[in-house]
A = this chain, B = another copy of it.
Amino acid sequence: MEDKIIYGGDYNPDQWLDEPEILEQDLRMMKAAHINEVTLGVFAWASLEPEEGKFTLDWLEEIVNKLYANGIKTIMATPSGARPKWLSDKYPEVLRTWEDGTKAQYGGRHNHCLTSPIYREKVRIIDTKLAERFKDNPAIIAWHISNEFSGECYCPSCQKAFRGFLKKKYGTIEKLNHEWWNAFWSHQYSSFDQIDAPSNIGEKGTNGLMIDWKRYATEECDNFIDNEVNALRDAGATQPVTINMMYDFGGYDYNEQKNHIDIISWDSYPDWGFSESDIKPALEHGLCHDSMRCYKDKPFLLMESCPSGTNWQQTHRLKRNGLLPLAAIHAVGHGADSVQYFQIRAGRGSCEKFHGAIIDHTCREDTRVFKEATKTGELLLKLADVAGSQTDAKVGLIYDRQNEWAIDMSEGPRNCGEGYLEQTQKFYNALKRNAVDVDVISEPHDFSKYKILIAPMLYSVRGDVLERIRDFVKNGGTLIATYLCAMTNENDLCFLHDTPHDLTDVLGVRLDEIDGLTDEQSNKALTVDGAMGLDKSYSCNKICELITLNGAEPFMKYGEDFYAGSPAATVNHFEKGKAYYLATDLEDDFYKKFLEKVLADANVEPLVKKLPSEIDIQSRVRDGRRYIFMENFSREDKKVKLPKGAKMIIGDESEEFPNTSAKVFTVEE
C-alpha cells in the first residue's frame, strides 16, 4: 500500500476548529514523532453536514492538504458510525430497535438500523460528497468505512430482510423446518412470513434460527458496507477501502465480511500491564493479528491501538517504558503494515476524554508518552522494507466464527462454557513457544499449503470442510482434531450415526459419550509407555469424551472415574498422513510437549532454537529474505542465541535480550 510502515492514527481536528493554535501544535508534534498518516473524519458528520443538505467540507480539505504538505497522508473515514441529531430527529426510523422491541433514543454510536433506506441514502449522499471532494487528492491513501460495525436491529424492515435471507437460503419452508428441527415443541412454520428474529421475549431455543440470524446480520452489514463503497466508487474514488474490525468480535463473521473490502484493518487493545507478565495479552492479540492477516493472506493495518491507558478498560494502566515500541514491532511481526493509534490528541470532554493519546491535556511536548511514541516512529522507519512482505506459516489453526456461534448457542454439553477460544489459544500458545509461525484460519480456508492442520473443537461443519480435511491427511498432512469434532452440520443439526462425522476412518476413533465436568472437577490423562516424550500424567478438564478405537492407537488414557483406562488421546495413520485425536482438554504443558514432537515429525523447523518463555517470535518473507521479529514481553532480561548470519535491524546480535525490548533481523534462505 505504502512503501513504508504507516504510522499515525485517528485525528479529530473537528473538535478544535475554533482553536487554530491547537491545530498548529498538532502538526508540529506529529512531524516530530515521525507520523506519516492520520485517519480523519471518523464521527465528523455533524461538522460536514451541520444541517440537512448543507455541506461544509472546506475545513477538512484544508487540513488534509496542510498535512500532506508536511508529509502526512490521510485515511479518510466516512462518518456513518454516528449521526447528527437532526438526522434522527427528522427520520426516527434510522435509530435501532432492540431485541426486546424497544426503540433506541438518540445517543451513543454504532446503533443505526441496518436496513433503513433513509439512512443508507443519507450515508450515500455524504459519502458521495466526500468522494467527489477527495477522489483525486493524492493525500488520500485509503477509505475507512464507518467505524467498528456491530450489532443488529430488530425493526420490521430488518425482520423482513431476515425473512428474505432465509427464503434465499432454504427455498422451501419444509427444508427450513427440517434443518431447524422445528417439530420440536411444535415450532414448524407454514410460511417464511411467520418467522421473527430470535428474541429474549420470543424464541431463544431454536439453534438454527439463532445461527442464521447471525449469518443474516453479517450479510446485512455487508450490504451496508457495499452501499458505502458503491457511493465512493460511483463518485470516482479509486483508493482501497477498509473497515476497522475488533478483537475476537463475535457479532459478525469477518471471514465473510472480508470480501467486501480491499484491506483488512483492526483495533487492538491488549490488557497490557494488567497481570504479572505481558506475554498473555501478547499471545491473545497475536492470535488475532494472525487471524486478521489470514482473512486475505495479506498484510493488514493496525488501525487503532492506545499510546497509553484506555478510558474503557478496567483501569487506566500506563504502559511501562519500552512497551509502546514493543507492541508496535509485535504487530508488524504478525503482518501489520501500519501502527496507528486512537488517538493523536485527547478530546477535552465526553466519555473518551481519558483515553490515552499522543498529545494529552497538558499539551506538552516533553511527556513520557510523546517520547515513547517518537521512539516508536524512529524504529518503524528502520522497518520500511518490511512493508508488503508475506508470511509463510506451515501450520494452520482453525478458529471459525460460525463454529463458535454454534458451540456458544447450543444448550449443552457444557453450559458453564465449552471454551472454544481458550482451547484454540492453548494450541496457539504452544506453537509460539515452539517458535513457529502459524496461520489462524476459518473452515473455508485452503489447507493444502500446510504441513500441520489443527482443528480444535470442530463441532459444526459447513461446506466441504470435511472433504478437504480428508484430502489433507490423505496427501500426507498431519491433522490434530479434538473433542466435539464434526457433531453437527452448519445449522447445528446433529449428525446421526457415528461421529466425528465422515472422519471416523481418518481419525480412527468414534465418539460414545461426552462427560461434562464442572469447573471444580478434573480427571487425569496418563501417558502410555512414555509416548511422544510426554510427562506421565496431565490434568484434564471441562470435557472428557468417551471414545471407541476404530483403528487408532491410544497414547494417553484416562486415570480416574468409571472410564479410567479408556483412551484419552490417539494417533491414526491414514493413507500418507497422520491424524491425532485429543478426547479431552489438557493442561498447557501437554500442548507444548505434544506439539514439539508433532512439529519435529512434520519437519517444521523453529525460527530460533530454545526460545525462552515470555518471548514472542514471528517472521515475514520476501524475495528469499526472512525478517524475524522477537519481542521480550517479560519484565526480566533474557538470553537467546540468534541464528548464524542474522543481520540486525533492531537490537544487537548479542545473546543478551533486555526486558521490554525487541530484536529484528533478517536471514537469507
Contacts and interface: CB of A to CB of B under 8 A. Distances in A.
Interface of A: 12, 14-15, 43-47, 50-51, 79, 82-86, 89, 98, 100-109, 179-190, 194, 196, 198-199, 201-208, 274, 308-318, 320-321, 346-355, 361-364, 367-369, 410-416, 491-499, 510-518, 546, 561-562
Given A203-B105, A205-B107, A367-B513, A187 B412 contact: no
A51 B103 CA distance: 34
B102 A350 contact: no
Nearest to A492: B349
A517 B317 contact: yes
A196 B105 contact: yes
B185 A313 contact: no
Main secondary structure of the interface of A (DSSP, over half): loop
Contacts of A103: 201
Closest 3 CB pairs of A and B: A181-B349, A107-B203, A105-B202
A541 to B, nearest CB: 11
A494 B190 contact: no
Contacts of A46: 183, 186-188
Given A46-B186, A349-B494, A363-B497, 11 more contacts: A12-B183, A86-B194, A109-B185, A179-B349, A184-B350, A205-B351, A315-B516, A316-B414, A318-B515, A348-B494, A362-B497
A83 to B, nearest CB: 7
Number of copies: 3
A330 to B, nearest CB: 19
Contacts of A184: 12, 15, 43, 347, 349-352
A225 B39 CA distance: 52
25 contacts: A43-B185, A50-B190, A85-B188, A86-B190, A98-B201, A104-B201, A105-B202, A107-B196, A107-B198, A108-B204, A108-B205, A179-B349, A181-B347, A182-B350, A183-B347, A185-B350, A206-B349, A312-B412, A315-B414, A315-B518, A318-B513, A351-B410, A353-B410, A354-B514, A362-B498
A180 to B, nearest CB: 6
A104 B102 CA distance: 13
A361 B314 contact: no
Nearest to A354: B412
Contact of A316 (B188, B308, B516): B516
A351 B207 contact: yes
Contacts of A317: 515-518
A312 B516 CA distance: 12
Given A46-B186, A46-B188, A100-B102, A351 B515 contact: no
A510 B45 CA distance: 37
A361 B495 contact: yes
Contacts of A354: 410-413, 514
B349 A207 contact: yes
Contact of A368 (B312, B496, B512): B512
A353 B185 CA distance: 12
A183 B85 contact: no
A312 B588 CA distance: 29
Contacts of A98: 201
A470 to B, nearest CB: 21
Contacts of A497: 361-363
Nearest to A271: B518
